[in-house]
Amino acid sequence: MKFTRGYAILARVDMQNARELNRKFFFCIGLIALIACNAASPTQPVVVITEPASGSEFREGDQVVIESTSDDAKAIVRVELVVDGVVVKTDPSPTAQGQPSLTLVQAWRAIPGNHTIIVRAYNAAGKISEPVGIIVTVVPSVAQIAPTFTPNASGAINPTNAPTTAGTRAPCTNAATFVSETIPDRTNFFAGNAFNKIWRLKNSGTCTWGVGYSFGLVSGEAMASSNSLAVPAIAPGGIAELLVPMTAPATIGLHSAAWQLKSDSAQNFGPRVTIVITVSNSDLSPQVSPTTSGCSGIPTLSTFTVTTEQITEGATTRIQWGLITNASSVQIDPGIGAVNTPGVRDVSPKITTTYTLTARCGPNARTASVTIIVNPAGSAIGNFAGAWIHNFGTMTLSQSGSNVLNTSEYVNAFTTNKSKGNISGTVTGNTLLGNWSIEGVNGTLQFYLGANGNSFDGARVSEQQQLRWCGARSGSPFPSGCSFAGTWNMYFSANPACATITLTRIDDTVTGNYCGSLLNGTLQYVGSETVINGTTSLTSGSNSFALYLIDGYNATQFQGGLVGIAGSEWCGWRGNAIKPPQCGK
């Protein structure tokens, strides 16, 4: 097949018509499904990690392959792999509108230490799954000589590392400082309630925590299934989030326990942190019981809301819930436990926390969630003001203090007349939460400022879908994964062995390198697509090429090729997105 500009334009038009028919068809089918299923749709994705098992051991340099399945009737749009609190991989749904069930295989290159691996999913409504994680141990590929310990004059133990072929390591000190915790003391639970207690401890010493370090019960009651947990690799100055799954004892009354860190030489160090709970037969609030004798089927929820979604550390907000019927029990996690309905509770979380209400009737359950974003006290307000180029046009934001004013405008280049819309919102730290509107359609937005203040990533959400919204200031590169920017899986019929391509977008210029050949192109918006036209030295001499994003917003696939050269089709796809169906045909 000979690839020409004429063919490229004709193909785009034909594909646009086909996609429009597909959109209308699936919109009708989706509307029927929405009407039929809306009442039972969960409000939060559910994630299951199928491989590997928690406690698995790997060698340094191994590819740790994590297989997970995320489910949500409102459609999974994105899944993140988080290792020790850092997002190491993000995979969008292969379809722009998301899908009810998404099974992924994500990989991470193993480094020595104990590591906490979490998979979290996002649905089309912007809701995030509860943390689901495993702990793995990675051993060094070459055995290391363990340190010896000798007492000093005062009786304290000092570590002394044995000499190695590279010389003698300087001794280090183990120390930890309490940062925050979930579940305040004397929180009320029903007997048998399961909950997660999380302590955040800072490595204030000079040793790196990792292999051989543990966090365990040192006194009090054993409320966890395991009384000793591995500690992830935490360098000096880093913060460990130590999550311990627990179950409230069967005995009514006050229950407590203390936990502490232990070094690789079996020496306890750092503060003793405590869990203190009250077990009772009822919630502390004098409200109507949710229990329905002989309940059957699915519980019925009404409302679950929070008065203020963003607070500063130390502030208080209120969560409240309406009457729940056809339920034998209702509880809110973390830290609240069993409740009666309707009810209210004032909370003051120290870190960003998602509260989940669960109503049960036998094996059936319904859930609802609210997230409270906690910003550090005295944190600086990010600067979103100024002109930006984003993945579907341009925008100019006006900011006064923490307020982004409603005089802020953006251009949607995918609309027929390059329509202008409005943006407004509130900035807390480096996060802008607000609203957008254009041509009678509106929704919410979430922008996250990049570390240097010159790029942003985020999303816009409407009743129909969540779409990526990202970009940069003029002269600055787009964040990876935004528009054409980042690394792609690549198929080129003339060179199938070269499997990836990396592109950079600055303003409306896209550059890249593929198998040692340079690409340089100019970006424009044609209809509902983002198109690059440029030149490359991929074959002998200089050739023209044309590429276009199949989904201009979420940018998970592209199609194109060299102009005027038969058999030169290109296509690309992100991460675990599927290869474009027409690729190579």
Using 50, 70 and 90 to split pLDDT, how confident is the model at 170? low
In a domain, 581, yes or no: no
In a domain, 156, yes or no: no
- Measure the CA–CA gap between 263 and 80, rounded to whole angstroms: 31
Residue 549: which domain range?
5-18+480-573
Whether 551 contacts 77, CB under 8 Å: no
Is residue 203 domain-shared with residue 272, that is, in the same domain?
A: yes
pLDDT one-digit tens code per residue, 437-463: 988 888 888 888 887 889 998 888 765
Is residue 69 domain-shared with residue 116, that is, in the same domain?
A: yes
Is residue 463 domain-shared with residue 408, that is, in the same domain?
A: yes
- Measure the CA–CA gap between 391 and 477, rounded to whole angstroms: 12
- The CATH number assigned to the domain holding 252 equals 2.60.40.10
Total domains, the chain = 5
Using 50, 70 and 90 to split pLDDT, how confident is the model at 315? confident
Is residue 189 domain-shared with residue 273, that is, in the same domain?
A: yes
User: Which of residues 447, 472, 497 is at a domain's end?
Assistant: 472
Is residue 488 domain-shared with residue 466, that is, in the same domain?
A: no
Whether 547 contacts 511, CB under 8 Å: no
What is the pLDDT, as a whole number, of residue 143?
Answer: 38
Is residue 462 domain-shared with residue 487, that is, in the same domain?
A: no
What is the pLDDT, as a whole number, of residue 504?
Answer: 93
Residue 476, phi then psi, degrees to nearest 5: -110, 150
- Measure the CA–CA gap between 382 and 452, rounded to whole angstroms: 10
- The CATH number assigned to the domain holding 484 equals 2.40.128
Residue 37 has pLDDT above 50, yes or no: no
In a domain, 182, yes or no: yes
Is residue 14 domain-shared with residue 76, that is, in the same domain?
A: no
Is residue 191 domain-shared with residue 125, that is, in the same domain?
A: no
In a domain, 53, yes or no: no
Is residue 410 domain-shared with residue 360, that is, in the same domain?
A: no
Is residue 205 domain-shared with residue 274, that is, in the same domain?
A: yes
- The CATH number assigned to the domain holding 352 equals 2.60.40
Is residue 497 domain-shared with residue 529, that is, in the same domain?
A: yes
In a domain, 84, yes or no: yes
Residue 157 has pLDDT above 50, yes or no: no
Share of the chain above pLDDT 70, in %: 81
User: Which of residues 472, 490, 521 is at a domain's end?
Assistant: 472
DSSP line for 439-493: TTEEEEEEEEE-TTSSEEEEEEE-SS-EEE--EE-TTSBPPTTSTT-EEEEEEET
Is residue 270 domain-shared with residue 196, that is, in the same domain?
A: yes
Strand, helix or coil for residue 12: helix
User: Which of residues 375, 408, 433 is at a domain's end?
Assistant: 375
In a domain, 165, yes or no: no
In a domain, 267, yes or no: yes
In a domain, 35, yes or no: no
